[in-house]
Amino acid sequence: MRKRIIVLSLMSVMAIAVMGCGDKTEQTENVVSEAVEKNKETVEDAGDTNAAGVEPDSVAAEDTADADSENGADDLNDTEPDTESDTELDTEPDTESETEPDTAGPCDAVELVRSMKIGWNLGNTLDASSDQNKEDELAYESDWCGIVTTKEMVDAVKAAGFQTMRIPVSWHNHVSQDGSYTISDVWMNRVQEVVDYAIDNDMYVIINIHHDNSTDYVYPSQEYLEQSKAYVTSIWTQVAERFADYDEHLIMEGLNEPRLVGTNNEWWLDLNNGHCVEAVQCINELNQAFVDAVRASGGRNKERYLLVPGYAASLQGATNEYFELPQDTEGNHNKIMVEVHAYIPYHFALEAESESGSTDKWSVDNISDTSEIDSMMDILHEKYVKNGIGVVIDEFGARDKGGNIEARCEFAAYYVGAARERGITCCWWDNNAFTGNGENFGIFRRMVCKFLYPDLVDGMMKACE
Question: Which of 220, 140, 205 is CA-nearest to residue 172?
Answer: 140
Q: Can 257 be counted among the known catalytic residues?
A: yes
Question: Of 29, 141, 174, 210, which one is the catalytic site residue?
Answer: 210
Question: Of 141, 253, 257, 406, which one is the catalytic site residue?
Answer: 257
Q: Can 210 be counted among the known catalytic residues?
A: yes
Question: Of 395, 406, 421, 439, which one is the catalytic site residue?
Answer: 395
Tell me the C-alpha distance between 350 and 3, whole Å: 7
Which residues, 6+ apart, have CB-to-CB distance to 163 below 8 Å?
115, 116, 117, 118, 119, 203, 204
Q: Can 406 be counted among the known catalytic residues?
A: no
SS3 labels along the chain: CCCCHHHHHHHHHHCCCCCCCCHHHHHHHHHHHHHHHHHHHHHHHHHHHHHCCCCHHHHHHHHHCCHHHCCCCCCHHHCCCCHHHCCCCCCCCCCCCCCCCCCCCCCCHHHHHHHHCEEEECCCCCCCCCCCCCCCHHHHHHHCCCCCCCHHHHHHHHHCCCCEEEECCCCHHHECCCCCCCECHHHHHHHHHHHHHHHCCCCEEEEECCCCECCCCECCCHHHHHHHHHHHHHHHHHHHHHCCCCCCCEEEECCCCCCCCCCCCCCCCCCCCHHHHHHHHHHHHHHHHHHHHHHCCCHHHHCCCEEEECHHHCHHHHHCCCCCCCCCCCCCCCCEEEEEECCCCHHHHCCCCCCCCCCCCCCCCCHHHHHHHHHHHHHHHHHCHHHCCCEEEEEECCCCCCCCHHHHHHHHHHHHHHHHHCCCEEEECCCCCCCCCCCCCCCEEHHHCEECCHHHHHHHHHHCC
Tell me the C-alpha distance between 408 and 426, whole Å: 15
Active site residues: 210, 257, 395
